[in-house]
Amino acid sequence: MRRTRINHMPLGSGAIAGSTLAAGPGLRSAQLLDFPEITHNSMDAVSDRDFVAEFLFVLSLIGIHLSRLSEDLILFASAEFHFLRISDAYSTGSSLIATKKESRCVRIDPRKNGRLVGNLVALLTNLKGLPMTYNRDLQEDKDGSL
């Protein structure tokens, strides 16, 4: 996994201008926490959320691909194609037609993806227009990422 953005240790940046505590951005602290790099600008370190946006983008992309795979399975399992048959363990009956077989898991999965894309868009919209250093708006990044 590529971690060029997330693998920078910001400890010691304080609120904006560093800290007098001993736990500064030293290489020893970075080694203990397994960070190959440290942040070089304290103002940017406390305001940077690129790694969150990247993580949410990757999750959204995974969701989109799973959604497309699920749609393929739904299409191939339909009566018109009939390329494959989904096991009863992953299927239920229809609420209206008891004898109808519906593959619930692959039908729900594509609809879940909208939430992932929504988290990404919400974060990017929140970051747009924020000035340098920490802003209280950044507290909103926890909703989508956690």
Site residues (vs another protein, CB under 8 A): 1-3, 6-17, 19-21, 33, 42, 45-46, 48-49, 51-52, 55, 58-59, 61-62, 65, 68-69, 72, 76, 83-84, 134, 141-142, 145-146
Cα separation, 144 vs 92, whole angstroms: 31
Q: How far is the CB of 115 from another protein (least distance, A)?
A: 16
Nearest to 119 by CA among 65, 68, 56: 56
Q: How far is the CB of 25 from another protein (least distance, A)?
A: 9
Q: Which is nearer to another protein, 37 or 100 (CB)?
A: 37
Toward another protein, which CB reaches closer, 7 or 91? 7
CB of 101 to another protein, least distance (A): 18
Would you say 22 or 96 has its CB closer to another protein?
22
In terms of CB distance, is 40 or 96 closer to another protein? 40
Instruction: Please give the distance of CA 28 from its chain centroid, rounded to a whole number.
Output: 30
Q: Taking Cα atoms as reference points, which of 30, 110, 45, 42 lies closest to residue 75?
A: 110
Numbers of helices and strands, H then E, in the chain: 5, 4
Task: State the minimum distance, in angstroms, from the CB of residue 125 to another protein.
Answer: 19
In angstroms, rounded to a whole number, what is the distance separating the alpha carbons of residues 77 and 91? 12
Q: Closer CB to another protein, residue 32 or residue 121?
A: 32
Residue-wise burial string across 21-60, b where 16 or more C-beta atoms lie within 10 A, e elsewhere: eeeebeeebbeeeebeebbeebbebbbbbeebbbbbbebb
Minimum distance from residue 98 beta carbon to another protein (Å): 28
